Amino acid sequence: MSAATPVLQNDLLLRALAREPVPRTPVWMMRQAGRYLPEYRATRERAGSFMDLCRSSELACEVTMQPLARYPLDAAILFSDILTIPDAMGLGLHFVEGEGPKFERPVRDSSAIRALRPPDIARDLGYVTDAVRVIRRELQGRVPLIGFTGSPWTLATYMIEGGSSRDFARAKALVYDDPAAAHHLLDMVATAVTQYLNAQIEAGAQAVQIFDTWGGALSTPAYQAFSLHYMTRVIEGLIREHDQRRVPVTVFTKGGGQWLELMADSGCDALGLDWTTELGDARARVGHRVALQGNLDPAVLNAGPAAIRSEVERVLASFGSGAGHIFNLGHGITPGVPPEHAGAMIEAVHELSPQWHESS
Protein backbone atom coordinates (compact mmCIF):
# COMPACT_ATOMS: atom_id res chain seq x y z
CA MET A 1 0.00 0.00 0.00
CA SER A 2 1.15 3.53 -0.68
CA ALA A 3 1.95 6.36 1.73
CA ALA A 4 -1.51 7.70 0.98
CA THR A 5 -3.18 4.68 2.65
CA PRO A 6 -6.13 5.93 4.74
CA VAL A 7 -5.67 6.01 8.49
CA LEU A 8 -7.29 3.00 10.16
CA GLN A 9 -10.36 4.33 11.97
CA ASN A 10 -11.12 1.16 13.98
CA ASP A 11 -8.07 -0.79 15.08
CA LEU A 12 -9.72 -2.74 17.93
CA LEU A 13 -8.99 -6.07 16.24
CA LEU A 14 -5.29 -5.36 15.77
CA ARG A 15 -4.96 -4.04 19.31
CA ALA A 16 -6.71 -7.08 20.77
CA LEU A 17 -4.52 -9.42 18.69
CA ALA A 18 -1.51 -7.64 20.21
CA ARG A 19 -3.10 -8.10 23.67
CA GLU A 20 -3.27 -4.34 24.12
CA PRO A 21 -6.09 -2.68 26.13
CA VAL A 22 -9.33 -2.00 24.24
CA PRO A 23 -12.60 -0.39 25.40
CA ARG A 24 -14.68 -3.40 24.30
CA THR A 25 -14.17 -6.84 22.76
CA PRO A 26 -13.83 -6.71 18.97
CA VAL A 27 -16.09 -9.03 16.99
CA TRP A 28 -16.17 -10.57 13.53
CA MET A 29 -17.55 -13.85 12.19
CA MET A 30 -15.96 -16.65 10.24
CA ARG A 31 -17.86 -16.88 6.92
CA GLN A 32 -19.47 -13.52 7.68
CA ALA A 33 -19.88 -13.04 3.92
CA GLY A 34 -21.91 -16.05 2.89
CA ARG A 35 -25.12 -17.86 2.11
CA TYR A 36 -27.05 -16.75 5.19
CA LEU A 37 -27.26 -13.27 3.60
CA PRO A 38 -29.83 -12.79 0.81
CA GLU A 39 -27.64 -10.12 -0.77
CA TYR A 40 -24.78 -12.64 -1.00
CA ARG A 41 -27.04 -15.20 -2.68
CA ALA A 42 -28.11 -12.59 -5.21
CA THR A 43 -24.50 -11.68 -6.04
CA ARG A 44 -23.52 -15.34 -6.24
CA GLU A 45 -26.31 -15.98 -8.73
CA ARG A 46 -25.21 -12.99 -10.77
CA ALA A 47 -21.64 -14.28 -10.83
CA GLY A 48 -22.70 -17.59 -12.38
CA SER A 49 -20.57 -19.89 -10.21
CA PHE A 50 -18.77 -19.81 -6.89
CA MET A 51 -15.30 -19.70 -8.45
CA ASP A 52 -16.40 -17.01 -10.92
CA LEU A 53 -17.42 -15.01 -7.86
CA CYS A 54 -14.01 -15.60 -6.25
CA ARG A 55 -12.16 -14.68 -9.46
CA SER A 56 -13.91 -11.34 -9.91
CA SER A 57 -12.15 -8.75 -7.75
CA GLU A 58 -15.14 -6.40 -7.93
CA LEU A 59 -17.68 -9.08 -6.94
CA ALA A 60 -15.38 -10.48 -4.25
CA CYS A 61 -15.16 -6.94 -2.88
CA GLU A 62 -18.93 -6.56 -3.07
CA VAL A 63 -19.62 -9.65 -0.98
CA THR A 64 -16.78 -8.84 1.45
CA MET A 65 -18.45 -5.49 2.14
CA GLN A 66 -22.02 -6.82 2.45
CA PRO A 67 -21.87 -7.86 6.13
CA LEU A 68 -20.22 -4.55 7.03
CA ALA A 69 -23.20 -2.74 5.52
CA ARG A 70 -25.50 -4.71 7.86
CA TYR A 71 -23.50 -4.99 11.07
CA PRO A 72 -21.00 -2.94 13.13
CA LEU A 73 -18.22 -5.51 12.68
CA ASP A 74 -14.61 -4.83 13.62
CA ALA A 75 -12.99 -6.51 10.62
CA ALA A 76 -13.55 -7.45 7.02
CA ILE A 77 -12.28 -10.82 5.82
CA LEU A 78 -11.27 -11.40 2.24
CA PHE A 79 -13.91 -13.33 0.31
CA SER A 80 -12.20 -16.30 -1.30
CA ASP A 81 -11.85 -20.04 -0.74
CA ILE A 82 -9.21 -22.13 1.01
CA LEU A 83 -8.83 -24.33 -2.09
CA THR A 84 -7.44 -21.66 -4.39
CA ILE A 85 -3.89 -23.05 -4.04
CA PRO A 86 -4.74 -26.66 -5.02
CA ASP A 87 -6.84 -25.24 -7.85
CA ALA A 88 -3.81 -23.25 -9.05
CA MET A 89 -1.77 -26.47 -9.00
CA GLY A 90 -3.98 -27.93 -11.75
CA LEU A 91 -6.14 -30.39 -9.83
CA GLY A 92 -9.39 -29.34 -11.50
CA LEU A 93 -11.48 -27.82 -8.73
CA HIS A 94 -15.23 -27.79 -9.20
CA PHE A 95 -18.24 -27.62 -6.89
CA VAL A 96 -21.01 -30.22 -6.84
CA GLU A 97 -24.40 -29.08 -5.53
CA GLY A 98 -25.02 -30.64 -2.13
CA GLU A 99 -21.55 -32.25 -2.00
CA GLY A 100 -19.14 -29.32 -1.94
CA PRO A 101 -15.71 -29.06 -3.56
CA LYS A 102 -14.32 -31.83 -5.75
CA PHE A 103 -11.02 -32.29 -7.56
CA GLU A 104 -10.92 -34.01 -10.92
CA ARG A 105 -7.29 -35.08 -10.50
CA PRO A 106 -6.52 -35.96 -6.86
CA VAL A 107 -2.96 -36.93 -5.91
CA ARG A 108 -2.79 -40.27 -4.11
CA ASP A 109 0.72 -41.62 -4.56
CA SER A 110 4.32 -40.52 -4.76
CA SER A 111 4.40 -40.30 -8.55
CA ALA A 112 1.33 -38.06 -8.70
CA ILE A 113 2.72 -35.85 -5.93
CA ARG A 114 6.09 -35.48 -7.62
CA ALA A 115 4.38 -34.55 -10.89
CA LEU A 116 2.71 -31.54 -9.27
CA ARG A 117 3.84 -28.07 -10.26
CA PRO A 118 3.99 -25.38 -7.61
CA PRO A 119 1.71 -22.42 -8.35
CA ASP A 120 3.02 -19.10 -9.57
CA ILE A 121 1.27 -16.79 -7.10
CA ALA A 122 1.29 -13.68 -9.29
CA ARG A 123 0.17 -15.53 -12.41
CA ASP A 124 -2.20 -18.13 -10.98
CA LEU A 125 -3.60 -16.34 -7.93
CA GLY A 126 -3.34 -12.70 -8.93
CA TYR A 127 -7.13 -12.47 -8.83
CA VAL A 128 -6.93 -12.91 -5.03
CA THR A 129 -4.38 -10.15 -4.51
CA ASP A 130 -6.35 -7.96 -6.92
CA ALA A 131 -9.39 -8.49 -4.69
CA VAL A 132 -7.36 -7.53 -1.60
CA ARG A 133 -6.37 -4.24 -3.23
CA VAL A 134 -9.93 -3.45 -4.31
CA ILE A 135 -11.32 -4.26 -0.85
CA ARG A 136 -8.71 -2.09 0.89
CA ARG A 137 -9.59 0.77 -1.44
CA GLU A 138 -13.29 0.33 -0.74
CA LEU A 139 -12.81 0.05 3.04
CA GLN A 140 -11.09 3.45 3.19
CA GLY A 141 -9.60 2.59 6.58
CA ARG A 142 -12.97 1.72 8.15
CA VAL A 143 -11.81 -1.60 9.68
CA PRO A 144 -8.82 -3.91 9.14
CA LEU A 145 -8.85 -6.51 6.36
CA ILE A 146 -8.06 -10.12 7.25
CA GLY A 147 -6.42 -12.37 4.67
CA PHE A 148 -6.43 -16.13 5.01
CA THR A 149 -5.41 -19.53 3.75
CA GLY A 150 -6.03 -23.17 4.53
CA SER A 151 -3.26 -24.92 6.44
CA PRO A 152 -0.92 -27.14 4.44
CA TRP A 153 -2.41 -30.26 6.07
CA THR A 154 -6.01 -29.20 5.40
CA LEU A 155 -5.23 -28.39 1.76
CA ALA A 156 -3.40 -31.70 1.39
CA THR A 157 -6.41 -33.66 2.65
CA TYR A 158 -8.57 -32.23 -0.12
CA MET A 159 -5.84 -32.85 -2.69
CA ILE A 160 -5.48 -36.50 -1.65
CA GLU A 161 -9.12 -37.34 -0.95
CA GLY A 162 -10.42 -35.44 -3.99
CA GLY A 163 -12.92 -33.57 -1.82
CA SER A 164 -14.37 -33.55 1.67
CA SER A 165 -14.02 -36.66 3.82
CA ARG A 166 -15.43 -38.10 7.01
CA ASP A 167 -12.47 -40.30 7.93
CA PHE A 168 -9.56 -39.06 5.76
CA ALA A 169 -8.72 -42.70 4.98
CA ARG A 170 -6.62 -41.95 1.91
CA ALA A 171 -4.76 -39.01 3.44
CA LYS A 172 -3.97 -40.94 6.62
CA ALA A 173 -2.95 -44.03 4.66
CA LEU A 174 -0.44 -41.91 2.74
CA VAL A 175 0.90 -40.42 5.99
CA TYR A 176 1.55 -43.86 7.46
CA ASP A 177 2.43 -45.85 4.31
CA ASP A 178 4.62 -43.27 2.60
CA PRO A 179 5.48 -40.44 5.00
CA ALA A 180 8.21 -39.21 2.64
CA ALA A 181 5.61 -38.58 -0.08
CA ALA A 182 3.29 -36.89 2.41
CA HIS A 183 6.11 -34.63 3.59
CA HIS A 184 7.05 -33.83 -0.01
CA LEU A 185 3.47 -32.73 -0.70
CA LEU A 186 3.21 -30.74 2.52
CA ASP A 187 6.56 -29.07 1.89
CA MET A 188 5.41 -27.89 -1.54
CA VAL A 189 2.05 -26.70 -0.22
CA ALA A 190 3.64 -24.93 2.78
CA THR A 191 5.94 -22.99 0.44
CA ALA A 192 2.94 -21.97 -1.68
CA VAL A 193 0.90 -21.01 1.40
CA THR A 194 3.74 -18.80 2.68
CA GLN A 195 4.09 -17.04 -0.67
CA TYR A 196 0.32 -16.69 -0.95
CA LEU A 197 -0.12 -15.08 2.47
CA ASN A 198 2.84 -12.77 1.87
CA ALA A 199 1.27 -11.69 -1.43
CA GLN A 200 -1.98 -10.92 0.44
CA ILE A 201 -0.04 -8.91 3.04
CA GLU A 202 1.83 -6.96 0.38
CA ALA A 203 -1.49 -6.26 -1.36
CA GLY A 204 -2.98 -4.88 1.86
CA ALA A 205 -4.15 -7.61 4.26
CA GLN A 206 -3.56 -6.26 7.78
CA ALA A 207 -3.93 -9.59 9.62
CA VAL A 208 -3.97 -13.19 8.43
CA GLN A 209 -5.54 -16.43 9.61
CA ILE A 210 -4.55 -20.02 8.91
CA PHE A 211 -7.56 -22.34 8.84
CA ASP A 212 -6.45 -25.81 9.92
CA THR A 213 -9.91 -27.23 9.51
CA TRP A 214 -8.91 -30.89 9.59
CA GLY A 215 -5.91 -30.88 11.93
CA GLY A 216 -8.12 -32.22 14.71
CA ALA A 217 -8.58 -35.49 12.80
CA LEU A 218 -4.97 -36.48 13.53
CA SER A 219 -3.33 -38.21 16.47
CA THR A 220 -1.08 -36.02 18.58
CA PRO A 221 2.21 -37.22 17.01
CA ALA A 222 0.75 -36.96 13.51
CA TYR A 223 -0.64 -33.50 14.24
CA GLN A 224 2.78 -32.30 15.34
CA ALA A 225 4.57 -33.83 12.35
CA PHE A 226 2.10 -33.25 9.52
CA SER A 227 0.07 -30.20 10.54
CA LEU A 228 1.65 -28.02 13.22
CA HIS A 229 5.19 -28.39 11.87
CA TYR A 230 4.15 -26.94 8.52
CA MET A 231 2.02 -24.16 9.99
CA THR A 232 5.01 -23.16 12.12
CA ARG A 233 7.17 -23.10 9.01
CA VAL A 234 4.62 -20.89 7.26
CA ILE A 235 4.54 -18.47 10.20
CA GLU A 236 8.34 -18.30 10.26
CA GLY A 237 8.31 -17.29 6.59
CA LEU A 238 5.69 -14.56 6.80
CA ILE A 239 6.10 -10.81 6.50
CA ARG A 240 5.42 -9.71 10.05
CA GLU A 241 5.45 -5.94 9.58
CA HIS A 242 3.90 -3.96 6.75
CA ASP A 243 2.79 -0.34 6.41
CA GLN A 244 4.71 0.30 9.65
CA ARG A 245 2.46 -2.00 11.66
CA ARG A 246 2.77 -5.59 12.84
CA VAL A 247 0.79 -8.13 10.81
CA PRO A 248 -0.69 -10.58 13.34
CA VAL A 249 -1.26 -14.26 12.54
CA THR A 250 -4.08 -16.38 13.97
CA VAL A 251 -3.98 -20.19 13.89
CA PHE A 252 -7.28 -22.05 14.07
CA THR A 253 -7.19 -25.84 14.39
CA LYS A 254 -10.74 -27.10 14.62
CA GLY A 255 -10.83 -29.85 17.23
CA GLY A 256 -7.39 -28.84 18.49
CA GLY A 257 -8.16 -27.72 22.03
CA GLN A 258 -5.92 -30.43 23.48
CA TRP A 259 -2.88 -28.92 21.71
CA LEU A 260 -3.13 -25.26 22.75
CA GLU A 261 0.29 -25.15 24.38
CA LEU A 262 1.91 -26.68 21.29
CA MET A 263 0.10 -24.24 18.99
CA ALA A 264 1.10 -21.27 21.14
CA ASP A 265 4.74 -22.19 20.47
CA SER A 266 4.23 -21.82 16.71
CA GLY A 267 5.01 -18.10 16.68
CA CYS A 268 1.40 -17.08 16.10
CA ASP A 269 -0.19 -14.06 17.75
CA ALA A 270 -3.57 -15.67 18.44
CA LEU A 271 -5.32 -19.01 18.63
CA GLY A 272 -8.80 -19.53 17.29
CA LEU A 273 -10.89 -21.87 19.43
CA ASP A 274 -13.89 -23.96 18.50
CA TRP A 275 -16.81 -24.21 20.91
CA THR A 276 -15.59 -27.44 22.58
CA THR A 277 -12.81 -25.65 24.49
CA GLU A 278 -13.78 -23.37 27.35
CA LEU A 279 -12.21 -19.93 26.92
CA GLY A 280 -11.37 -19.57 30.60
CA ASP A 281 -9.51 -22.88 30.58
CA ALA A 282 -7.66 -21.90 27.41
CA ARG A 283 -6.68 -18.56 28.88
CA ALA A 284 -5.36 -20.22 32.02
CA ARG A 285 -3.19 -22.46 29.83
CA VAL A 286 -1.86 -20.02 27.22
CA GLY A 287 -3.64 -16.68 27.47
CA HIS A 288 -0.57 -14.82 28.70
CA ARG A 289 1.32 -15.82 25.54
CA VAL A 290 -1.23 -15.35 22.75
CA ALA A 291 -4.59 -13.74 22.17
CA LEU A 292 -7.66 -15.97 21.95
CA GLN A 293 -10.41 -15.83 19.35
CA GLY A 294 -13.84 -17.40 19.66
CA ASN A 295 -15.80 -19.27 20.49
CA LEU A 296 -19.61 -19.21 20.44
CA ASP A 297 -21.15 -22.40 19.06
CA PRO A 298 -22.50 -21.37 15.61
CA ALA A 299 -25.65 -23.41 16.32
CA VAL A 300 -26.57 -20.90 19.05
CA LEU A 301 -27.49 -18.47 16.25
CA ASN A 302 -30.41 -20.74 15.38
CA ALA A 303 -31.89 -19.93 18.78
CA GLY A 304 -33.75 -16.73 19.66
CA PRO A 305 -32.16 -13.37 20.56
CA ALA A 306 -32.53 -13.89 24.33
CA ALA A 307 -30.65 -17.20 24.21
CA ILE A 308 -28.02 -15.68 21.94
CA ARG A 309 -27.48 -12.81 24.36
CA SER A 310 -27.17 -15.22 27.28
CA GLU A 311 -24.55 -17.30 25.48
CA VAL A 312 -22.60 -14.20 24.43
CA GLU A 313 -22.55 -13.16 28.08
CA ARG A 314 -21.31 -16.60 29.11
CA VAL A 315 -18.48 -16.57 26.55
CA LEU A 316 -17.36 -13.08 27.58
CA ALA A 317 -17.43 -14.05 31.25
CA SER A 318 -15.48 -17.21 30.53
CA PHE A 319 -12.59 -15.19 29.10
CA GLY A 320 -12.92 -12.63 31.88
CA SER A 321 -11.40 -9.21 32.33
CA GLY A 322 -8.61 -7.70 30.31
CA ALA A 323 -7.12 -7.68 26.85
CA GLY A 324 -6.53 -10.39 24.29
CA HIS A 325 -9.99 -11.65 23.32
CA ILE A 326 -11.55 -11.41 19.87
CA PHE A 327 -15.18 -12.51 19.89
CA ASN A 328 -16.05 -14.93 17.09
CA LEU A 329 -17.94 -18.10 16.41
CA GLY A 330 -16.29 -21.45 17.06
CA HIS A 331 -16.56 -22.17 13.32
CA GLY A 332 -18.22 -20.54 10.33
CA ILE A 333 -21.76 -19.17 10.43
CA THR A 334 -24.15 -21.69 8.85
CA PRO A 335 -26.35 -20.91 5.82
CA GLY A 336 -29.72 -21.21 7.58
CA VAL A 337 -29.07 -18.61 10.31
CA PRO A 338 -31.47 -15.65 10.15
CA PRO A 339 -29.38 -12.50 9.53
CA GLU A 340 -31.07 -10.73 12.44
CA HIS A 341 -29.75 -13.42 14.80
CA ALA A 342 -26.18 -12.61 13.76
CA GLY A 343 -27.07 -8.98 14.44
CA ALA A 344 -28.31 -9.89 17.91
CA MET A 345 -24.99 -11.56 18.69
CA ILE A 346 -22.96 -8.55 17.54
CA GLU A 347 -25.22 -6.15 19.45
CA ALA A 348 -24.80 -8.23 22.60
CA VAL A 349 -21.01 -8.15 22.28
CA HIS A 350 -21.10 -4.36 21.92
CA GLU A 351 -23.40 -3.94 24.92
CA LEU A 352 -21.97 -6.53 27.29
CA SER A 353 -18.22 -6.54 26.66
CA PRO A 354 -17.22 -3.05 27.94
CA GLN A 355 -17.64 -4.18 31.56
CA TRP A 356 -14.74 -6.60 31.03
CA HIS A 357 -12.50 -3.75 29.86
CA GLU A 358 -13.29 -1.05 32.43
CA SER A 359 -9.65 -0.65 33.43
CA SER A 360 -8.56 -0.29 29.79
In DSSP notation, 260-328 reads HHHHHTTT-SEEE--TTS-HHHHHHHHTTTSEEEEEE-GGGGGS-HHHHHHHHHHHHHHH-SSS-EEEE
Catalytic residue among 44, 136, 233, 283: 44
Alpha carbon 24 to chain centroid, angstroms: 22
Q: Is there a contact between 224 and 263 (Cβ–Cβ < 8 Å)? A: no
Residues whose CB is less than 8 angstroms from the CB of residue 35 and which lie 6 or more positions away in sequence, other chains included: 41, 44, 335
Pairwise CA distance, residues 312 & 353, whole Å: 9
Burial of 276 (0-12, 13-18, 19+ CB in 10 A): middle
Q: State the catalytic residue, choosing from 36, 71, 158, 230.
A: 158
Q: Is the distance from CB of 264 to CB of 286 less than 8 angstroms?
A: yes
Active site residue 31: yes
- From residue 129, how far is each of 62, 79, 121, 123, 196 by CA, in Å? 15, 11, 9, 11, 9
Which residues make beta-bridge pairs with 242? 245
User: Comparing C-alpha atoms, which of 222, 305, 231 is closest to residue 272?
Assistant: 231
Q: How many CB atoms lie within 10 A of CB 299?
A: 13
Task: Respond yes or no: is residue 44 known to be catalytic.
Answer: yes
Dist CA 116 CA 188 (whole Å): 9
352: Cβ contacts below 8 Å, ≥ 6 apart: 309, 312, 313, 316
Tell the burial category of 9 from Cβ atoms under 10 Å away from its Cβ (0-12, 13-18, 19+): exposed
Asked if 35 is an active-site residue, the reply is yes
218 Cβ contact list (under 8 Å, min separation 6): 153, 172, 226, 227
Active-site annotation holder among 11, 74, 81, 269: 81
**Which among 15, 31, 55, 283 is annotated as catalytic?**
31
Q: Cα 265–266–268 angle (5° rounding)?
A: 105
Residues marked as catalytic: 31, 35, 44, 81, 158
